[in-house]
Amino acid sequence: MKFRIYKDIEKSRLRELVPTAYKGLAVALESSLSGEVTLITFPHNRKDVVKSSMALKALSKIETDTIINLVVVGGCFSSESVEALQRHNAHFLSLSEFHWTDSRFEEVQKGKPKSRDKP
């Protein structure tokens, strides 16, 4: 799954549209939202990392100028994706807040050593 976008939904529908593990977070967020919501669900297992390239691609599919409430769901967001989404005042629903950068996540995925001192 790459991402799914739900445009112009009522905030009360958030709890229906988010994955089960995120329902409590969505209910807690509802009271701070007013008006319609744009929801983007990214890969959302705890170990999934949403990189900036995916976040930017999702943002390119919506009219960001007209969004009142942007809610994003994902397992974990890289620091670059957080920056890109925060420019649009996104509300984050995530299960992990581990600090990843895009480049570090790619290094780990490729199996490079954790320390740069190792051969």
Task: Report which secondary-structure segment, H or E, holds 39.
Answer: strand 37-41
79-86 and 52-60 are packed helices; what angle lies between their axes, rounded to 10 degrees? 30
Secondary structure class of 114 (helix, strand, coil): coil
Q: Which residues pair with 72 in a beta bridge?
A: 40, 92
Spell out the per-residue pLDDT of the chain, length 119, in tens.
699 999 999 999 999 999 999 999 999 999 999 999 999 999 998 888 999 999 999 999 999 888 989 999 999 999 999 999 999 999 999 988 777 787 777 777 776 555 655 55
Maximal C-alpha separation, the chain: 55
pTM, two decimals, is 0.84
